[in-house]
Structure 1
Amino acid sequence: MSPTVRRASSADLDLIAPLFDRYRHFYTQREDAAVSRAFIGERLARGDSAILLAALDGADGAGFVQLYPTFSSVRAARVWVLNDLFVEAHARRRGVARVLLDAAAAFARADGAARLELETDHDNAQAQALYAAAGWQRFDGTQRYQLPLAQA
């Protein structure tokens, strides 16, 4: 059965929070179900982000993608940042990540966005291959900087 994707709502908090906790743990954060639940619950309640939830074999929770809105002043248009992409171990290599990427693109297009953006680690060859296969292009004309403001 092919993966399907739908937009998550506040009613999905119990499903998304554990996924988000495993995502954070994958990126070296300690497991903390309460922090993950509070963070995702706040995003859903405030509408700060769009979370797309994947189902596989008829069961929700195969993975998710979280998009945050921002804007391009120069283009005078919305831009969506694909900040989080996670697929459960049992669902990997079954097309879930690609379906989530395609759903994110369709969501952003329907919203009238100028583009989608993401970043990944320079040594994450598997993710880079996925993004290239899905039509994403590097934009090397800029240098990204950050100014840390608080301890994480």
Structure 2
Amino acid sequence: MRTRLATLQDIDAASALFDAYRQFYEQAPDREAARAFMTERLTRGDSAVLLAEDDEGTAVGFCQLYPSFCSIEAKPMYILSDLFVAPAARRSGAGKALLRAAERHAAQTGRVKMELTTARTNKTAQAAYASLGWQLDEVFLGYGKRVEG
């Protein structure tokens, strides 16, 4: 399994995976919106998108890292917002390869840590995170609020 940073030349593969990821989270298919979103991210450079490719060079998974800051440490960090592996490539090691690549990229770009959230029911992902040294936050609760405007 090979991982690398995506570029605009990867927009077809990246947007197809992003659309599938959104559908996994019960969003209606919208390849056009997925393409527009990923094109904007890659053009503006406001996220890092990593691809996992199989032996034939086909993109089978992706993760997206958003720059943020750790106020406590007063240093930059990443939010690992999106991680997805196509169903046919699951259990191939693509997910763990993407997590390792994200960690290397974060270290190379001076980030002090990464954070992510996952569904309480996603036990497979939780096991993968734990096996790679991610620690479950048992102190803080996360809250969110939708803002209309």
Report TM bin, short chain. Answer: over 0.9
Q: CA deviation at 1:90?
A: 1.5
Alignment of 1:98-117 (within 5 A): 98-117=96-115
Question: Structure 2, unaligned stretches of length 5 or more?
Answer: none
Q: Which residue of 1 aligns with 2:8?
A: 10
SS at match of 1:59: coil
Question: Structure 1, unaligned stretches of length 5 or more?
Answer: none
Q: Which residue of 2 aligns with 1:67?
A: 65
Q: Which residue of 2 aligns with 1:30?
A: 28
Please provide the CA RMSD for this pair: 1.2
Q: Which residue of 2 aligns with 1:136?
A: 134
Q: Which residue of 1 aligns with 2:40?
A: 42
Distance (Å, rounded) in 2 between the aligned partners of 1:43 and 1:147:
23
Q: CA deviation at 1:76?
A: 1.2
Q: CA deviation at 1:111?
A: 1.1
Distance (Å, rounded) in 2 between the aligned partners of 1:68 and 1:121:
19
Q: CA deviation at 1:58?
A: 2.6
Alpha-carbon displacement from aligned partner over 1:19-57 (angstroms, at most 9, x marks no partner): 110110011000001111111110011001000011111
Distance (Å, rounded) in 1 between the aligned partners of 2:141 and 2:88:
36
Whether contact under 8 Å (1:71, 1:79) holds in the other structure is: yes
Alpha-carbon displacement from aligned partner over 1:94-140 (angstroms, at most 9, x marks no partner): 11100000000010011111101000011111111111111100122
User: TM-score, normalized by length of structure 2?
Assistant: 0.96
Distance (Å, rounded) in 2 between the aligned partners of 1:103 and 1:58:
19
Distance (Å, rounded) in 2 between the aligned partners of 1:136 and 1:150:
33
Q: Percent identity?
A: 44
Which amino acid in 2 is paired with 1:28? E
Q: Which of structure 1's runs of 4+ aligned residues deviate more than 2 A?
A: none
Whether contact under 8 Å (1:53, 1:60) holds in the other structure is: no
